[in-house]
Amino acid sequence: MPLATLRVTTASRTSVHPIGQQIQNALEGKGVGNGLLLVSVPHTTCAVTLNEPEAGLLDDFAQALERLVPWEGRYAHNQGAEDNAAAHVRANLIGHQAMVPVIDGRLQVGVWQDVLLMECDGPRTRTVEVRLLAEA
């Protein structure tokens, strides 16, 4: 059972969403001290990572994914109604979870870092699960 379950609604097919503050807010009142958080998404076409949430950079991520794994191409998965092979591949290049240390109930990220949800096949409402793996 996750410590917290968040919902993130995405507005376009490819987009990046800073979620560190939402995770921090979800820890309030949960009695979290020091430990390690696992932030994961139970989806096959979105991803979680850490980086800088600067608006231009968020667009750069989306554009880079478009160049690396274009929508058009020969994909075995794209048969019948399925057309999202590129979204599956993009999500796996980034990964489906991130680990974040917590001290005194506060996420320990760098000055320029945030936790980012990367939507690869939106718009959708995504679930983000937050688990406390270890208390130190």
Does residue 12 contact residue 121 with C-beta atoms inside 8 Å? no
Q: How far apart are CA 42 and CA 31, in angstroms?
A: 25
Q: Which is nearer to Zn ion, 59 or 82 (CB)?
A: 82
**Smallest separation (angstroms) from Zn ion to the CB of 89:** 10
Q: Which is nearer to Zn ion, 45 or 49 (CB)?
A: 45
| Max Cα distance, the chain (Å) | 51
**Smallest separation (angstroms) from Zn ion to the CB of 76:** 11
Q: Which is nearer to Zn ion, 35 or 75 (CB)?
A: 75
Does residue 98 contact residue 18 with C-beta atoms inside 8 Å? no
In the complex, the residues that contact Zn ion under the rule CB under 5 A are 82, 84
Does residue 48 contact residue 116 with C-beta atoms inside 8 Å? yes
**Smallest separation (angstroms) from Zn ion to the CB of 92:** 12
